Amino acid sequence: MILNKYSRIYTKDDSLPASQAMLIGAGLTDADLRKPFVGICSTGFEGNTCNMHLNGLADEVKRGVAAQGLVGLRFNTIGVSDGITNGNDGMRFSLVSREIIADSIEAMAGAHYYDALACVVGCDKNMPGALMAMARLNRPSLMVYGGSIRGGEFKGQKLNIVSCFEAYGKKVNGQISDEDYRGIIHNACPGPGACGGMYTANTLASAIEALGMTVPASSSLPAESSAKVQECLDTGAYLRRLLELDLKPRDIMTRAAFENALVVVTVLGGSTNAVLHLIAIAHAAGVKLTMDDFQAVSNRVPVLADLKPSGKYLMEDLSKLGGIPAVFRTLLDYGLLNGDLPTVTGRTLAENLAGVRPLGPEQDLLRPLSNPIKADGHIQMLYGNLATKGAVAKITGKEGLRFEGPAIVFNSEAELNQGIADHRIQPGQVVVIRYVGPKGGPGMPEMLKPTAAIMGAGLGDKVALITDGRFSGGTHGFVIGHVCPEAYDGGGLALVENGDWIVLDAAQNTMDVRLSDEELATRRAAWRQPPLPVRQGVLLKYIRTVSDASHGCVTDLIEENGQVELPTTVVSQAALASA
């Protein structure tokens, strides 16, 4: 079998001497030009705990690749830190970075005809961006997750990144001293690794392991563990096996694999951002996945894991119990996962789990089916006159299933943050944050800072919050995001006024403002779209190309006659046949 069927387009064509000369000038030998090329992409950069160690892990991947007689070629792409940008205008670039990551990996691997791809990733948008590129290219590929951060501690209190945001709410309300506030900041992030709870990074890493696109335990090995380094070294053998089998991302990321991923997200109580990202990955893989599919899984699958933000455990606690493979084995035994699906190991999910012990009564992190945290899923899709195309709620069961009250409306996150500081938020209110959607934000920023501040102020169980923006995986409380159509496009949120009565019902999956159709029509006729929030650059390009949240905020959506066209891969078979 030819393993270098892509790179040979450059290395075996006598009409491309300049290409070969530059590869030799870059340090390759004639022998190397006969080997398969593996692109090793890292989203490593120094200014973020999630990503600061990734370049080092990518070096280990390169060593493992070389040991298998493959040529590893390192390259980097960007990463935007959600933790650093939350609560400021930098967050507008976060979701946008997913598209930049996907586009840049696709461009690099596509232009240079790499035969296989390994992506070493950390923070939230790194993972879906990498998977989207893999699906578009459809060459033997796998993802290496950088792993979770250690938990922090201050004065006997266990800390993580969300502790900082909630400490701000306590500080504003005079509940903690400046000294303790600074102490929390200095101790919350004690080293490298992604945010430690079942926030977006760990949610996506677990879901992608369920998709079959990482080696077993990648999502739960701690960032600083020797096992994470060994995983990187072993990657070369897995990549060679993928090349020999010609096993590609679209062979692995099937409809059934996405259903496994949805089950895992639900059982773990994962981030609502999984809705956006899994829909986007599925779109890139040519698989139709909708919000209704998430609801169908939530209707039949319970929440079992007692993980932060709404629970008490971190990923590092799960790793000590056997990690995500132990969870998968438990779910396989329950009949909740399909074990017959291929993975990047070249074996099926069930074969990967053959020697893994399920989690039993010796622990309380993962509840048994007979005693779930919530009998159905926490991710609920709501519809109504405020969200005719749907919205995404995260209801863990601790917030109740229904909330109604008068609206208090803010036209930006900054306005809400000031409202919190001015003590304008009162118990019983439904807080509305609008014009923060994919176009209105732009970039659909997360609302972690205000939700955490509300929690810190002791209002978490006394108010609800709805927005056309997103929530962090660290958000908890009665919160509904991804409201679609967004306010910037004239969605229902654009018409709400202070004092309007809003009814949110997670049991009936509805969200409505109690206004007549006639009153809504009158307000809609008087509404005017705000001016563009930006006038140039990447954010303007995003506004002009991004789909709505119900379609995953992708920027390559083609609709014809109301139907979404699923994409094909980048390099045609005809191009390969001519190589």
Mark the binding-site residues, compressed into ranges: 50, 82, 124-125, 446
Look at the block and give the residue holding tokens 């307000």: 523
Any catalytic annotation for residue 472?
yes
Q: In 3D, which of 161, 168, 151 has the Cα closest to residue 81?
A: 161
529, 455 in Cβ contact below 8 A?
Answer: no
Over its C-alpha atoms, the chain yields an Rg (Å, rounded) of 24
Q: In 3D, which of 50, 37, 63 has the Cα closest to residue 140?
A: 37
Phi then psi for residue 159, to 5 deg, are -125, 155
Q: In 3D, which of 376, 410, 380 has the Cα closest to residue 394?
A: 380
Q: In 3D, which of 342, 286, 284 has the Cα closest to residue 130?
A: 284
Name the token pair of 30: 């004639």
Distance, CA of 495 to CA of 511 (rounded, Å):
14
Distance, CA of 516 to CA of 513 (rounded, Å):
9
List, as residue ranges, the binding site for Mg(2+): 82, 124-125, 446
For residue 63, count other CB atoms closer than 10 A to its CB. 15
Phi then psi for residue 169, to 5 deg, are -60, -40
User: If 0-12 CB within 10 Å is exposed, 13-18 middle and 19+ buried, where does residue 351 land?
Assistant: middle
Give the sign of the dihedral formed by CA 230, CA 232, CA 236, CA 242. Answer: positive
Of 472, 516, 547, 550, the catalytic one is 472
For residue 24, count other CB atoms closer than 10 A to its CB. 13
Q: Would you call 313 helix, strand, or coil by DSSP?
A: strand
100 to each of 80, 103, 548, how far by Cα in Å?
Answer: 10, 5, 18
Q: What burial letters (b/e) apply to 327-347, b meaning 16+ CB within 10 Å?
A: bbbbbbebebbbbebbbbbbe
List, as residue ranges, the binding site for [2Fe-2S] cluster: 50
Q: Would you call 468 helix, strand, or coil by DSSP?
A: coil
Instruction: Please compute, for residue 565, the number of CA atoms within 13 A of its CA located in the half-sphere on the CB side.
Output: 9
> 258: Cβ–Cβ under 8 A, 6 or more apart, which residues?
211, 278, 282, 287, 289, 293
Q: Would you call 193 helix, strand, or coil by DSSP?
A: coil
**Catalytic amino acids?**
472
